[in-house]
Amino acid sequence: MSEILKAREKQIYRKDEHDFDLACEKQSLAGSVSQRACVFCGSRVVLYPIADALHLIHGPIGCAAFTWDIRGALSSGPELHRLSFSTDLREKDVVFGGETKLYDSLVELIDLHKPNAAFVYATCIVGLIGDDVDAVCKRVSQEKGIPVLPVHSEGFAGTKKDGYKAACEAMMRLTGTGPTEGISPHSVNILGDFNLAGEIWIIREYLQKMGVEVVANVTGDGRVADIQRAHGAALNLVQCSGSTIHLAKMMEEKYGTPFMRVSYAGIDDMASALYGIADFFGDEEMTRKTKELVKAELDAVFPEVRKYRKKLQGKRAALYVGGAFKAISLVKALKLLGMQVALAGTQTGNAEDYALLKDICDPGTIIVDDSNPLELCGFLKEKDVDLFIGGVKERPIAYKLGIGFCDHNHERKEALAGFVGMLNFASEVYATVMSPVFKYKYRDCKNERNRESA
Amino acid sequence: MSAIESLHSQTEDNAMVVDITKMATTKEKRKKAVSTTNACKLCEPLGASLVFRGVEQSMPIVHGSQGCATYIRRYIISHFNEPVDIASSNFSEAETVFGGAPSLVTALDNVIAKYSPKFIGVSSTCLTETIGDDMSAIVREYKKDRKDMLLPEIVTASTPSYAGTHIEGYHAAVKAIVEQMASGGPKLDKVNVFPGIVSAADLRHLKEIFAGFGLDYTLLPDYSETLDGSSKCEYENIPSGGTTIEAIREMGRAQGSVLFGLTQKSSQTGAGELKKRYDIPVHKLPLPIGIEQTDRLMRVLEQISGQPAPKFMEEERGRLVDAYIDGHKYIFGKRAAVYGEEDFVVSMAAFLTEIGVRPVICASGGESGRFAETIKKLLPEESEDIQVAEGVDFYEIGNMAKETGVDLVIGNSKGYRTARELGVPLVRVGFPIHDRIGGQRILSVGYRGTQNLFDTITNTIIARKQDSSPVGYTYM
């Protein structure tokens, strides 16, 4: 296929057509129009939903402007995270250094907004101009009496995944600093859900019904004080493994907190997550409640899902999302709707993720790492799909090709997690795949053909 | 030189709020915050990328971290709802020490291999400017090493985000294109048009207007089709449309240039560059929003073309005046906060005063140093109630609006939060429109665009009154 650059061939796999040895976790190829962002982006998306913290972006204006209120990250209380704070560095700061401006900005904003912590994101040029961000943070922290945490997220210093890691390291510094008295032995932290459209509230409700206490949300609808006492939880639930697995591993090492990888997308994965939690605690009462919960939810959801399935049976879908865990759940969810998955790709999957993904995909399915618009366009055309699932940057590709689209990232407004999320998902897929507007898409071609034959 | 051109004093009164009639003599200067909260501006490479997307068969490359290109793509996509491919040189850590030449070279190679563009526009970023990458030298070497290959035009623009806003980036890219591609020679019967940041619908209408005067024009940039394309049988790797390479080369031989926007120094614009190099006269005009501003354009085009305004313009002007009179009572004395790019705000403010709405806050994140002066020159004498604020963010705009009280807010989607907090409607116009579809199709230039704005603003105010009426009347 001509859309594929030679240097990228190893990052594309067609199931059962050749041996599986997918290259991944590589730096994006220059000039290939990767759909990925940068280190800063990784840190920003992970920490962003902590709603009572000040998120100050130290650098020129772009990084802050582009991430202002960029996605749902709903909060049940404070909404400080929805403001976009920047030191807005100028030429003279680049020449003389930005430390004073950083200090003054932090003091000014902390006095004004009274946050419970501050995160300071170092962007590309901060390291180059030699600002000692750590020292400024330390000083302000002492003066203001709140944690002020540097996040080393210089955009060029790795990939988005390194940004996740930097975010985890900043959060790790918060853990272990709050009181843990009174935390139930049946307690968890929810890692890797960002509450874009209220997902974490759905999960918390399930856990509450099971009798499980949630100590900290990491980070959807997150609070500083909760993360400070996160080490008191008995278990870490890790979704979206790329973004927060590093925190889970650090907490395991330092506090002995075990972690469990879960996914809340789709009926199967949601149910097995809840059963897994009940098994972990080994509490009979909890197991009984979990069974009740799952049964009640399935009874409510299944008949509806079946209706959609009737209509969607046999339709073809493609997906290209950020993390591989999400991709795996989506493949299962699409199968539940009777749909065929023709393409499954991710920006940041690792070898282990891709092996799992390969196992659940049908022969011929394309699995791709760190793709780009031209490749994706080629795959979509080749597989002649009815639906494409992705984020904002994938949407116009689908629409230009006249293919239905479902946003599984920043801009969605309906929760796709949990049992109810499966229904929301089915309803959105149905709305786009069955829309009558697509029948007009070939009109121009017909006209052109008519002209040719005339 | 027109009166408009002569109004550019060189004062660089950065980052302060100016009462334009009393100039901070009776009104205390606001204490400017050190930090920026909810910026009313974007970064330079975004402006440059927008320009580069408006050239025929073009691919933009942002020389910097992967994130710059990706964020810019995402931002522009959310406004235009179109595929916006922008490549990145994907700068890595080692290159901060050794320079970014290898990654830029790889990016050029890969973009050429995959997209076969006729044109590549490279913009720099904070990062590559700070380490001192000399992009023009890198490109020169690149071309030298590939002497035998048929290469696309490669234009480089210096656009570090710390040195200005997306407007400076926009103009830097336009200037770079003409500087590096246009050449002189015998005069052609053509006119150059530099539109500034306007919508795709605006660009289409400008073309219609210039064609209506029988003028052969070159519009740079022209993203009217590249960023607002139709549904096609085949996916175009690079969307069709855009200013042609050939037309750009001939821009040095035009009879004149029409430059929309008064706040940029001429020397920083494409039109100014062509004046300097090839002595092509510049007609510097405000964005044609409102009757007065569009009339100015009509006069200039009559002069350039030697033809009267086309009939459709006369008719649209007549209908617009008729509509102004039909709707005047609903909007008279209403107070508006207007924000966005300086040149946009200047023309919007002039238009609002024309219909009896008071633009009590005129605000921008830009800091050209000419904002207040320009507004002062365009607005009538009695404008004591108008505050002009440059270099401000939405936090500041919100505070000003709370203090002075406004009935509506006019500008891009980023003012939604402010409008919501104030409990007043937002009339969406400008860039970006992220919370509605069709931002690229909002028409605001010419009599027709003014008509659209007038109807929208008037109906917004009527709707607000109707919706909050206990009676729910069904006539106005």
The pLDDT-based confidence of A117 (bands split at 50, 70, 90) is very high
Q: Is the pLDDT confidence value at B53 over 90?
A: yes
Q: Is the pLDDT confidence value at A446 over 90?
A: no
pLDDT tens, position by position, A152-207: 999 988 888 899 999 999 999 999 999 999 999 999 999 999 999 999 999 999 99
Say whether B230 and A69 touch across the interface (CB within 8 A). no
The pLDDT-based confidence of B231 (bands split at 50, 70, 90) is confident
Mean pLDDT along residues A393-407? 93
Higher pLDDT, A216 or B4: A216
Q: Is the pLDDT confidence value at B270 over 80?
A: yes
Hey, what amino acid is at B27? K
Q: Can you give the pLDDT at residue B31?
A: 65
Q: Can you give the pLDDT at residue B415?
A: 98
Q: Can you give the pLDDT at residue B23?
A: 36
The pLDDT-based confidence of A443 (bands split at 50, 70, 90) is low
Instruction: Decide: helix, strand or coil at residue B179.
Output: helix
User: What percent of chain A stands above pLDDT 70?
Assistant: 96
Q: Which chain B residue is nearest to residue A2, measuring alpha carbons?
A: B114
Distance from CA of A161 to the nearest CA of B (A): 13
* Mean pLDDT score of chain A: 92
Q: Can you give the pLDDT at residue B9?
A: 36
Instruction: Decide: helix, strand or coil at residue B355.
Output: coil
Q: Which residues of A touch B110 (CB under 8 A)?
A: 5, 29-32
Mutate to test the interface with B, among A156, A372, A444 (most CBs of B within 10 A): A156
Q: Can you give the pLDDT at residue A411?
A: 76
Q: Is the pLDDT confidence value at A210 over 70?
A: yes
Mean pLDDT along residues B338-358? 98
> How many beta carbons lie within 10 A of that of residue B185, not counting itself?
11
Mean pLDDT along residues B409-425? 98
pTM equals 0.93
The arrangement of strands across the sheet holding A117-122 comes to A148-152, A117-122, A53-58, A85-86, B36-37
Q: Can you give the pLDDT at residue B11?
A: 36
Residue B192 tokens, joined? 């150059």
Contact A406, A429 (CB under 8 A): yes
pLDDT tens, position by position, B101-140: 999 999 999 999 999 999 999 999 999 999 999 999 999 9
Q: Is the pLDDT confidence value at B26 over 70?
A: no
Say whether A444 and B68 touch across the interface (CB within 8 A). no
A347–chain B Cβ distance below 8 A for any pair: no
Give the integer Cα–Cα distance in Å for A144 and B45: 36
> How many beta carbons lie within 10 A of that of residue B27, not counting itself?
14
Q: Can you give the pLDDT at residue B300?
A: 98
Contact B394, B37 (CB under 8 A): yes
All residues at 6 or more sequence positions from B165 whose CB lies less than 8 Å from its CB, including other chains: A61, B41, B42, B43, B44, B47, B341, B365, B366, B367
Higher pLDDT, B14 or A322: A322
Residue A239 tokens, joined? 């979704």
**C-alpha of B150 from chain center:** 33
Instruction: Decide: helix, strand or coil at residue A53.
Output: strand
The pLDDT-based confidence of A2 (bands split at 50, 70, 90) is low
Q: Is the pLDDT confidence value at A275 over 60?
A: yes
pLDDT tens, position by position, B316-340: 999 999 999 999 999 999 999 999 9
B81–chain A Cβ distance below 8 A for any pair: yes
Say whether A128 and B131 touch across the interface (CB within 8 A). yes
Contact A157, B91 (CB under 8 A): no
A97–chain B Cβ distance below 8 A for any pair: no
All residues at 6 or more sequence positions from A403 whose CB lies less than 8 Å from its CB, including other chains: A380, A385, A386, A387, A388, A438
Q: Can you give the pLDDT at residue B214?
A: 97
Handedness of CA B192, B197, B203, B205 (dihedral sign): negative
Say whether A32 and B43 touch across the interface (CB within 8 A). no
> How many beta carbons lie within 10 A of that of residue A338, not counting itself?
16
Residue A442 tokens, joined? 């070939």
Q: Can you give the pLDDT at residue A232?
A: 98
Q: Is the pLDDT confidence value at A341 over 80?
A: yes
Q: Is the pLDDT confidence value at B12 over 50?
A: no
Q: Which residues of A touch B104 (CB under 8 A)?
A: 30
Distance from CA of B122 to the nearest CA of A (A): 11
Q: Which residues of A touch B77 (CB under 8 A)?
A: 392-393, 395-396
* Mean pLDDT score of chain B: 92
Q: Can you give the pLDDT at residue B370?
A: 96
Q: Can you give the pLDDT at residue A445?
A: 61
Instruction: Decide: helix, strand or coil at residue A236.
Output: strand
What part of A 353-392 touches B (C-beta under 8 Å)?
373-374, 377, 381, 392
> How many beta carbons lie within 10 A of that of residue A439, not counting itself?
9
Say whether B231 and A62 touch across the interface (CB within 8 A). no
Q: Which chain A residue is nearest to residue B80, measuring alpha carbons?
A: A396
What part of A 43-82 touches B (C-beta under 8 Å)?
56, 59-69, 82
